[in-house]
Chains A and B, each alone.
Chain A
Amino acid sequence: MKYLAHVCSIVPPHIVDALADSDDPEVREVGLRTRELDDQQRQQRLRAVPIEAPAVPPFVTDQPDRTVFDAGQSTDLPGNRTRGEQDTPTTDQAVNEAFDGLGSTFTFYYDVFQRRSIDGAGLPLDATVHYGQNFNNALWNGRQMVFGDGNRKTLQNFTASLDVIAHELTHGVTMYSGGLDYQGQSGALNESISDVFGSLAKQYTLRQTAEDADWLIGDGVLVSGINGVALRSMKAPGTAYDDPLMGKDPQPAVMADYVNTLRDSGGVHINSGIPNHAFYLVAMALGGYAWEKAGRIWYQTLTSGTLPSDADFPTFAQATTATAHTLYGPGTEEDAVRKAWGQVGVNGNG
C-alpha cells in the first residue's frame, strides 16, 4: 500500500514511457526526467520506512531483496551486479526500471495475497538487463529474469512494462506452486496465469477497477509505428496487433478457435487467449478491483497444491469454480466463474 498514494499522483507509467520513447528529443527528455523523479521518490519512500538492519538476514522478510545485473549485450548470466537494495538509482534507465518493476510486483503479491516473494519465503529477486544483442525477448529461466533490449524494429523496452515483469515473476510463482507443464493446454494455462497476474499487478499499481483497466499485455513494448496496441488483449484476444512486421495477433478467445500447432510448445502463447478471456469475463461480472475476488479465486486455485501440473482447460475451469464456492459459498462468484468458462466454450462440469 505504501506506493499507492504516490503512484496515483503521477502521470500513469505508460504515458511516461510513451514520452520517454518519443522521437522528439525534448519530449523524450521530459519523459526520462519524469521516470528519474519517480525512481528517486520511490527510493526516498522506501528509505523513509524505518528498517533496522538485522545482523543476520531474516528467513522471511516483508521487503524485496532485489539485485539487477547488466549483461552488457553479452549472453553471460547473470552479468555485472549493478544495483541492489542498498544502492541509489543508477544512470541506466533499464536497470532502474527493472528494479522498480521487481519492487512493484513484490508489493502487489505481498499486499494482495500476503505472499513474500515468488516462493512465498522471501526468495531474492534477480534480474539481468541488456542481455544479448537485439535480443527480442524477456524470459524467466527458472532462476532469474532475463531482459533483452529488443530488436527495436518491432519490440523494445521490456523493462519499462510492469505487466511484462510481473508476467515473468509469475512464472516463478507458478513454478513454486507445483508448476504447470509448459506444453499444450497446461502450458497455455501457465502463460495465462502469468498474463492474469501481470495485468493485475499493473491494475493494482494504477488502482484501476476491472472496468477501467485496459486488459492489455505488453502495451509498452511495441515500437512506435507498429500497427497495434499491445502483444495480447485479455478483453478481446486476437485484436492486439495486425502489422506487416509482426503479422496478426493469433489469439483465440473461445475453444472453437483453439489453435493446434507443434510450435510455441503447442501454442502456449496463442491458446492462452481462452483462459485469459475467461478471467476477464469473471472480473467484469464481479466488478470492482479484479484482484480482490477474481484474482483471489485464481491465486487460491494456483497455490492450493491440488492443481495437477498437467491440468487442461476443463480441469482448471472445474478447479476455479470449486475454489469460488469454497471462498464465497454458492452464489454470485461461483456462478460468474462457471458462466465465464461456458462463454469461452470450456466445459468444466462445475
Chain B
Amino acid sequence: MHIRVTRSGGFAGLTLHAELETSGRPDAAELERLATDAVTAAEPESSPVVPDGFEYEITVDDHTAHCADPHLTDAQRQLFERLLHEGA
C-alpha cells in the first residue's frame, strides 16, 4: 500500500509532505490498518477547519480524502504522527 499525507495550514502556514510504501516494512499491517481507517473516516472534499488548525490530505493508493482540526479520529491522528513525526 502506498500512503501519502500532506499537511497544510496551521498558524505558521507551513506545508509538510510524507509518503511511504508499506510493502516490506515490519509495521506494514499496522500502517495499512491505520491508513484504511483514516481515509475511510475522511471526507472526499476539503473539510472546514478551525482558524489556524491543520488541514490534512490523505492518499491511499489512488484514493484521496481530507480531514482537519479539531475533528480527527484516533486513527488519523496516529497515522499523521507516524508519517510526519509531529503531534497531530
Contact = CB atoms under 8 A, between A and B. Distances in A.
B13 to A, nearest CB: 3
Interface in B41-61: 46, 48-55, 57
A132 B46 CA distance: 24
Residue among B13, B46, B49, B50 with most chain A CB within 10 A: B13
Contacts of B13: 231-232, 250, 264, 268-270
Given A139-B50, A140-B52, A268 B9 contact: yes
Interface size class of B (residues with CB under 8 A): 20 to 34
Interface size class of A (residues with CB under 8 A): 35 or more
A190 interface: yes
| Majority DSSP secondary structure for residues of B touching A | loop
Nearest to B70: A141
A295 interface: no
A134 B81 CA distance: 9
Interface stretch (A82-90, A95-103, A148-156, A303-311): A148-156
Contacts of B1: none
A158 B11 contact: yes
A204 to B, nearest CB: 21
A246 interface: yes
A5 interface: no
Nearest to B72: A75
A171 interface: yes
Contacts of A269: 9-13
Contacts of B8: 263-264
B10 A139 contact: yes
A287 B6 CA distance: 42
A218 interface: yes
A244 to B, nearest CB: 13
A333 interface: no
A132 B87 contact: yes
B46 A140 contact: no
16 contacts: A75-B77, A132-B88, A137-B53, A138-B11, A139-B11, A139-B52, A141-B50, A151-B87, A171-B51, A221-B12, A247-B14, A247-B15, A250-B13, A263-B15, A265-B49, A269-B10
